[in-house]
Amino acid sequence: MTTKPVFDVEAVRKDFPILNREVQGKPLVYLDNAATSQKPQSVIDKLVSYYSEINANVHRGVHTLSQEATDEYEGARSKVRKLINAKEEAEIIFTRGTTEGINLVAQTLGVQRVGEGDEVIISNMEHHSNVVPWQVLCDQIGAHLRVVPINDDGELLMDEYEKLLSPRTKLVSIVHLSNALGTINPVKDIVAIAHQHDVPVLLDGAQSAPHLPVDVQDLDCDFYAFSGHKLYGPTGIGILYGKRELLESMSVYQTGGEQIKSVTFEKTIYNDLPYKFEAGTPNIAGAIGLGAAVDYINTIGLDRAEAYESELLQYGTEQLQTIEGLKLIGTAQHKSGVLSFLLEGIHPHDIGTVLDTQGIAIRTGHHCTQPLMQRFQIPATARASLAFYNTKAEIDALVEGIHKTFEVFS
Ligand code: C6P
């Protein structure tokens, strides 16, 4: 008989120094992980050791420091490749984050593939970072955005998606895990259906990379973009995965040092992948810190983290549902750790303010998904978002904080 592996959350919490601090005289309850996650000591130490022992520019120097920095930087690329099971390091491009990855694809492949009167498909639950770059592209070219609708639980209407695909469709870009609802979309099916029409698919992995094991070859997506800072790594670093043949066919995004092979005043020959898309001195420390975050995640195991987070989500959902006057927004069958809610008669910003007095950090607002808020005819929600270092006791604190909020406004 095999026993279920126990997830030792108290041991995990010791790896995150910030979780020891107090806010407004109360122990910090950090439930804003979808905005950015906290960093383990190993990532913090890696950043300090990079700057105190190695700091040098990469791919440029023959001196020892530059070579060490290059080895660490390229080592991080390799760790990310393994994490998402890309075929080769050449398919892993360092960016500033999800937003930059999507803009990169829109302004390269998008400009090349999408013509006047063509269509780009997104969904009603996209983050602004997966709306605006496509809107800009469509405006530039005279193309049109098509939007997959969702039901009241916050699930994509897959029949409508299939109906939207036509010979005019040139790209599909869909979020894997919704930051505002927690919905996990059936992205493997979305990709397979688009491919029947020879349409490439970009997946916005900002929220899925930190919470679900991701295998880009299994998903068969053409692009997958995510951010280091939500994956327990530093800010200002992210990843765009792309299939080699597409990346090779794409024009350049930014130009300058690093991304060239040779330059004369008459002609420039661009560098090979992935450097073709990494113009200028990159965020070396950020990439190396992200590599350390991947090492850390591997010690936890994303599959174990996912199982634990889904147990927390179930507990949190049950607890919140017991509160009279609370309405959950985002009740998909297939969900990850996001609890978006409304309290009758209280503006979400006021909920956030009262919870902060209790040391509880949540996000309130439209979560950069205004079209989604319009779909639900609400201005904002209060959102608690979970990570594997959260506990049931913290959910209990949230529930208590919500009761307190009702008291304050009664
Ligand atoms: N969502 C949130 O609180 P950047 O800013 O580039 O790291 O990530 C943008 C982004 C793109 N897609 C999704 C699904 C996201 O959730 C985010 C970031 C944060 O929900 C900040 S708005």
Q: Which domains does the chain have, with CATH numbers?
A: 9-30+301-408 (3.90.1150.10), 45-298 (3.40.640.10)
**Best of 103, 122, 127 for a ligand 1 pocket test (most atoms within 8 Å of beta carbon):** 127
How far does the centroid of ligand 1 lie from the alpha carbon of residue 20, in Å? 26
Model confidence over 95-136: pLDDT tens digits? 999 999 999 999 999 999 999 999 999 999 999 999 999 999
- Compute the residue count for the chain: 410
Contacts of 378 (CB under 8 A, 6+ apart): 329, 342
How far does the centroid of ligand 1 lie from the alpha carbon of residue 389, in Å? 20
Neighbours of 324 (CB within 10 A): 8
Model confidence over 373-397: pLDDT tens digits? 999 999 999 999 999 999 999 999 9
How far does the centroid of ligand 1 lie from the alpha carbon of residue 180, in Å? 10
CA dist 54 and 48 (Å) reads 10
Displacement of CA 121 from its chain's centroid (Å): 19
Helix axis angle, 302-321 to 392-409, nearest 10°: 30
User: Which ligand 1 atom minimizes the distance to the CA of 235?
Assistant: 7
pLDDT band for 54, please (50, 70, 90 cuts): very high
CA-wise closest residue to 43 among 282, 212, 288, 230: 288
Q: What is the pTM of this model?
A: 0.98
Average pLDDT over residues 289-297: 99
How far does the centroid of ligand 1 lie from the alpha carbon of residue 127, in Å? 7
How far does the centroid of ligand 1 lie from the alpha carbon of residue 226, in Å? 9
Question: 221 an active-site residue?
Answer: no
CA dist 383 and 329 (Å) reads 9
CA-wise closest residue to 241 among 114, 391, 359, 77: 77
Amino acid identity, position 379: P
Over 60: is that where the pLDDT of 237 sits?
yes
Over 90: is that where the pLDDT of 4 sits?
no
Residues having CB closer than 6 A to ligand 1 are 34-35, 97-99, 127, 129-130, 175, 179, 204, 206-207, 227, 363, 367-368
pLDDT band for 6, please (50, 70, 90 cuts): confident
Token pair, residue 279, equals: 């113009």
Alpha helices (H) along 125-257:
132-141, 158-164, 187-196, 216-219, 244-249
What is the structure's pLDDT at 3? 62
Displacement of CA 66 from its chain's centroid (Å): 31
Average pLDDT over residues 228-241: 98
In whole angstroms, how far apart are CA 379 and each of 291, 347, 374? 38, 9, 7
Helix (H) or strand (E) holding 316: helix 302-321
Q: What are phi and psi of 286, to 5 degrees?
A: -60, -45
CB 399 within 8 A of CB 382: no
User: Which ligand 1 atom minimizes the distance to the CA of 229?
Assistant: 7
Q: Where are the beta strands (DSSP E) in 169-325?
A: 169-175, 201-204, 223-227, 238-242, 260-263, 268-270
Per-residue exposure over 243-271, b if at least 16 CB sit within 10 Å of its own CB, e if not: beebbeebebbeeeebbbeeeeeeeeebb
**Best of 207, 214, 364 for a ligand 1 pocket test (most atoms within 8 Å of beta carbon):** 207
CA dist 377 and 327 (Å) reads 14
Neighbours of 301 (CB within 10 A): 15
CA-wise closest residue to 203 among 146, 158, 243: 243
Over 60: is that where the pLDDT of 1 sits?
no
Average pLDDT over residues 75-101: 98
What is the structure's pLDDT at 5? 60
Average pLDDT over residues 130-149: 98
Angle made by CA atoms 271, 224, 44, in degrees to the nearest 5: 85
Over 70: is that where the pLDDT of 2 sits?
no
pLDDT band for 313, please (50, 70, 90 cuts): very high
Tell me the average pLDDT of the chain. Answer: 97
User: Could you say which of 9, 136, 368, 378 is catalytic?
Assistant: 368
Average pLDDT over residues 329-340: 98
Q: Where are the beta strands (DSSP E) in 326-391?
A: 326-329, 338-343, 360-361, 363-365, 381-385
CA dist 57 and 55 (Å) reads 7
Over 60: is that where the pLDDT of 138 sits?
yes
What is the structure's pLDDT at 61? 83
**Best of 30, 32, 94, 99 for a ligand 1 pocket test (most atoms within 8 Å of beta carbon):** 99
